[in-house]
Structure 1
Amino acid sequence: MISYAQYIDGKDVEGQRWTYVVRASALLRDVDSAFNLKRGLELGRTTEITDDVVARCAVGTVADSDRALEAARRASRAYRLLPQETRSRIMLEFNEALTARADELIDLLIAEGHPRRLAQWEVSGMLRGTDEATIRWYESQLRQSFEVEGKPLELVRKPDGVVCVNPPQNAAGSNSTMAVFALLVGNAVVVKAPRSSPLGVMFVFRDVLAPILERHGAPPGTLNVVCGNAGGILRSWVTSPLVDDILFFGDSEAGLKLGEECLANGKKAILELAGNDGFVVWRDADLDAAARALEECFYGSSQICMVPKYAVLHPEIADEFTRIFLDRVRTLRPGYPEDPETLLSPVLKVDKFFDFIAEAREAGGEVLCGGQRVDVDGEPSTRGMFCEPTVVRVDGLQRAGGLSLVREETFFPLLPLVVPESAPDEQLFERVVDFVDGNLYGLRNSLWTGDPDLARHFAESVTNGGTLKINDSHIGFNSVLSTHGGTGRTGGPYGELNYAGLRTSHLQGISWGDGDPRPLDPRVLTAGETAGERARG
């Protein structure tokens, strides 16, 4: 069994108690026995450690978080002075170390309940998002030098100071990696590991990153990892004078409210909230390739922000594409996370799943497949932890826009296929663009088409979202392009493609003079009058 303490001010710090990670497959085999084992260990009713107990992590208090903030504030003053070359080297070595230990991390994520294919995808994003091409691009943005009329000028991004990171429970390990970009630009960080899924976070920061920081002379307190009550710790972050930025992952309602509270307390909120991604298939698309890409919507039973949540199909290919897509969907089955063929995860919001289906049916939507609650073997069960991958056809953009399964983020395997009314292509194109841009959320959007001119027109027309994919994997990651970020209810009023290193820093201009103060532009001085004479006058 792995055991992690909290990590504060360069030291391992015990908590008041432990939270235990019981292998997810054990919960699927016998939920009552596995849950009783977990709770028994946490409450001290048993000391039996079976093979299904993977790890334990110390759970601390708000006071532990406050000590971490104090350590981070002290460290930030010295860490920001490390040369950028050193901070970049830390990030590149982090990428190298994570690459070498990727299989270990994948196994830990599987133990926490991530299907192997999902865990592999998450780790691929962590590696692509911190690769050398991305780090070098960041360097190009952090300092720029100019010379104008013989005067040296600089634009430099300076770290904000102390950045606190609250990753989501459903993908804590991978999303918490955004903190490394705050470190890249010179901030100190405090990361809160969720009590329900702390293992990936602890591994990434305690086992992989902390030794690299220490080796390069980062002061103690540069990195801190705590675990505790989310509400109490977040409240302390919002009100603490030691905190500059809060990177928050969560649902839109809670995140937007937190953003208001941060603003009222003079802090910068960087929000990664819900997603409701659009996926457009035009009449000249490669339908087989588009269907493979749209299947990504069911990764983790769609309980991931950046998977497609609705598709818009050109009327001319709607029937053919639907047939191809359904052939793929019907092969998807629940299973244990260790199984490399498993794509689905247990579903948390089962009630809304059935509510959304019922609403769609009442409005004339057609359920094409799925719609039931099932167990790990795929058999119908009122107590099953899974939901069948479900596809609903909705005809008409206006009708679709009024339905919850299209208008809101769905966090369960329910995909609406929206078929607009037939119209000339130019009119239809404009209606589809308006539909995509009218989405209240804005994480990612996709287009599949064989027409390069239409693809370019779409790319220039659509403003919604932080990322736009053209004939590409919707969930795939690319060097330089940030893995996160969006507009609307996804990123809040300041949302965009989220380069966390830029968002946790601020731009400062530096002018290097020659010792002769000249506050006025010499072009406005009268003939024969020197700047010194004008100043004395």
Structure 2
Amino acid sequence: MSEHTTTVAGVAVDTRHWIGGERVASAETFTDVSPIDGGVLGEIARGTAAEAAAAVAAARAAFPAWAATPREERARVLHAIADGVERRLEELAVVETADNGALLRSHRRGVMPRVAHNFRFFADWLTRLGHEDFDTRGHTNHVSWDPAGPCVLITPWNAPLMLATWKVAPALAAGNTVVLKPAEWSPLTASLLADIAAEAGLPAGVLNVVQGYGSEIGDALTSHPDVRRISFTGSVPTAQRISSSAAANLTPLSLELGGKSPLLVFADADLDLAVDLAVEQYDNAGQVCLAATRILVEETVAEEFTRRFVERAARLKQGDPRDEATDIGPNIHPRQLEKIDGFVQRAIAAGARAVIGGKRLEGQYYAPTLLTDVAQDSEVVQEEVFGPVLTLQTFGDEAEAVRLANDTRFGLAATVATGDAARAGRVSGQLVAGTVWVNCFFVRDLQAPFGGSRHSGVGREGGTWSFDFYCDLKNTVTSPKGWKDHG
């Protein structure tokens, strides 16, 4: 076994960068630790500006040939990558569970199959991407999507491989080359993806993976003049830093940021369904940007809703995410756990009441928490906690529900529970959100636009919207005059 290889759950993972089709070590490393038990998973290559420059140079060198590759061939390679993901699905699942603590059963049944689907979807969408030609005073307009160039993709730790490939797949399909920087708290499956892509026949330099801290390698990537697109999923403060870094080169950005999404429960809703939707917000230990962490319940049913919620939440099993029976695993990092507990303890000190939870458990686990008696302008209502912490507030009528729902600086998603179709339409039309779910949650289709409003992000990706971002759109106008007969 190489000194640059670590074994995680029986799977060998190379801990070096992947640049220009080769493994590249760094002078220093950082330690990757499992949130399950605090065990060391490996010493990971700690990239600097030098590795950033090398990766961008490799992406730039590989770009002309990949951009000129016919769509059908690019699609074939993406399908081959999806095949590789499916062959190694179990390996990817066990490694990612060890790395970020999310449920193994979810990785096996939903997350890793979605990784493969990301590649297949954008491969297929590419082959039919187009716009009908149209006429302007006898002139023909033809719209085309031209590859933009090297793309820097910076991805989060809460769903590492799925969210990485949500960006990587359309960027590659569009004919671009990629430098992927995974989060330092969960870097391992990005390394495995590099292996899978190489085995699938993706040319050297088309996909590069570099690891490290944002302050050491991220800034060098986002400020590089040869980068043509930057896509980032993460926090608002980091997005502001990236935006500032990219501004000098006017590099286009796609930013999917935090959320403080509401779940509106009206008195005419199916309360059992509404309770199930509310409890579902504890998924992934509350580490989901889309989570409806602010539960807003109509006053007349609030007491009954709360009773059923407490009863339903009590059935959740918290523990080792590798156990098939577990519903809630650990939080990603001690620093994140401290952040979560800080929010809760400050809220309680300010007068909030923990109906359930409100405390740390052994290890990196936090008890599922529901806080009531919280003010609308309080920190725990206004700021993203990113842990298993929900708040419950009441409203008197539809207008108040909408006002409370929209009263944060975020606008990523919203969920509405109601038995009245007309109300669902009215309320959904007034909510500030990139996605609104009615009587459901987390139903996502890759052909739909995805992104946030306000401080929840800039831009939309998904379907043709992804290609609009990852490409330079061109309109070619052709006159019917001036043609010579070359027959």
Give yes or no for TM over 0.5: yes
Residue from 412, 417, 427 that aligns with 2:387 = 412
1:472-494 residue CA offsets vs partner (Å, 9 max, x unmatched)? 1x234324225x52111121xx3
Q: How does 1:382-531 map to 2 (within 5 A)?
A: 384-394=363-373, 400-420=375-395, 422=396, 428-462=397-431, 464-472=432-440, 474-481=441-448, 484-491=450-457, 494-496=458-460, 499-516=465-482
Q: Residue 156 of structure 1 corresponds to which residue in structure 2?
A: 144
Do 1:173 and 1:201's aligned partners in 2 also have CA atoms closer than 8 Å?
yes
Where in structure 1 are there 5+ consecutive unaligned residues?
39-52, 376-383, 423-427, 518-537
Matched positions, count: 464
- Corresponding letter in the other structure for 1:240: H
State how far apart, in whole Å, the 1-side matches of 2:180 and 2:162 are: 13
Q: How does 1:33-44 map to 2 (within 5 A)?
A: 34=39, 38=40
Secondary structure, aligned partner of 2:59? helix
Do 1:157 and 1:507's aligned partners in 2 also have CA atoms closer than 8 Å?
yes
State how far apart, in whole Å, the 1-side matches of 2:309 and 2:69 are: 52
Do 1:359 and 1:403's aligned partners in 2 also have CA atoms closer than 8 Å?
no
Secondary structure, aligned partner of 2:295? strand
Answer yes or no: is 1:122 the counterpart of 2:97: no
Q: Residue 313 of structure 1 corresponds to which residue in structure 2?
A: 297
Deviation at 1:24, TM superposition (A): 4.8
Deviation at 1:448, TM superposition (A): 1.3
Residue from 226, 231, 234 that aligns with 1:250 = 234
Deviation at 1:409, TM superposition (A): 0.6
Q: Residue 534 of structure 1 corresponds to which residue in structure 2?
A: none
Q: How does 1:273-312 map to 2 (within 5 A)?
A: 273-312=257-296
Q: Residue 425 of structure 1 corresponds to which residue in structure 2?
A: none
1:406-425 residue CA offsets vs partner (Å, 9 max, x unmatched)? 111112211001111x3xxx
TM-score, scaled relative to structure 2: 0.87
**Percent same amino acid at aligned positions?**
26
Q: How does 1:76-91 map to 2 (within 5 A)?
A: 76-91=63-78
Q: Residue 217 of structure 2 corresponds to which residue in structure 1?
A: 233
State how far apart, in whole Å, the 2-side matches of 1:362 and 1:58 are: 42
1:268-307 residue CA offsets vs partner (Å, 9 max, x unmatched)? 2221221212111111212222222222211222122122
State how far apart, in whole Å, the 1-side matches of 2:291 and 2:241 are: 24
Do 1:3 and 1:57's aligned partners in 2 also have CA atoms closer than 8 Å?
no
Deviation at 1:352, TM superposition (A): 4.1
Aligned in 2, Cα 1:489/1:7: closer, same or farther, shift over 3 Å? Answer: same
Where in structure 2 are there 5+ consecutive unaligned residues?
1-6
Secondary structure, aligned partner of 1:400? coil
Deviation at 1:250, TM superposition (A): 2.4
State how far apart, in whole Å, the 1-side matches of 2:156 and 2:226 are: 23
Do 2:414 and 2:435's aligned partners in 1 also have CA atoms closer than 8 Å?
yes
State how far apart, in whole Å, the 1-side matches of 2:434 and 2:310 are: 29
Q: Residue 98 of structure 2 corresponds to which residue in structure 1?
A: 111
Do 2:261 and 2:412's aligned partners in 1 also have CA atoms closer than 8 Å?
yes
Aligned in 2, Cα 1:446/1:389: closer, same or farther, shift over 3 Å? Answer: same
Do 1:365 and 1:392's aligned partners in 2 also have CA atoms closer than 8 Å?
yes
Answer yes or no: is 1:15 the counterpart of 2:29: no
- Corresponding letter in the other structure for 2:404: F
Deviation at 1:262, TM superposition (A): 1.3
Aligned in 2, Cα 1:461/1:128: closer, same or farther, shift over 3 Å? Answer: farther
Answer yes or no: is 1:196 the counterpart of 2:202: no
Aligned in 2, Cα 1:253/1:119: closer, same or farther, shift over 3 Å? Answer: same
Deviation at 1:265, TM superposition (A): 3.0
Aligned in 2, Cα 1:435/1:272: closer, same or farther, shift over 3 Å? Answer: same
State how far apart, in whole Å, the 2-side matches of 1:362 and 1:226 are: 43
Q: Residue 209 of structure 1 corresponds to which residue in structure 2?
A: 197
- Corresponding letter in the other structure for 1:504: Y
Deviation at 1:506, TM superposition (A): 2.8
Do 2:49 and 2:217's aligned partners in 1 also have CA atoms closer than 8 Å?
yes
State how far apart, in whole Å, the 1-side matches of 2:429 and 2:33 are: 48
State how far apart, in whole Å, the 1-side matches of 2:207 and 2:147 are: 15
1:92-136 residue CA offsets vs partner (Å, 9 max, x unmatched)? 34334323432221111112122224534433543454444x655
TM-score, scaled relative to structure 1: 0.79
Do 2:84 and 2:200's aligned partners in 1 also have CA atoms closer than 8 Å?
no
Aligned in 2, Cα 1:250/1:90: closer, same or farther, shift over 3 Å? Answer: same
Aligned in 2, Cα 1:86/1:102: closer, same or farther, shift over 3 Å? Answer: same
Do 1:238 and 1:265's aligned partners in 2 also have CA atoms closer than 8 Å?
no
Do 1:314 and 1:419's aligned partners in 2 also have CA atoms closer than 8 Å?
yes
Aligned in 2, Cα 1:241/1:118: closer, same or farther, shift over 3 Å? Answer: same
Q: Superposition RMSD on alpha carbons, in Å? A: 2.6
Aligned in 2, Cα 1:434/1:85: closer, same or farther, shift over 3 Å? Answer: farther
Do 1:393 and 1:419's aligned partners in 2 also have CA atoms closer than 8 Å?
no
Aligned in 2, Cα 1:436/1:265: closer, same or farther, shift over 3 Å? Answer: same
State how far apart, in whole Å, the 2-side matches of 1:139 and 1:284 are: 45
1:23-79 residue CA offsets vs partner (Å, 9 max, x unmatched)? 554xx2xx4xx3xxx4xxxxxxxxxxxxxx5x6654444212211111111221221
Secondary structure, aligned partner of 2:311? helix
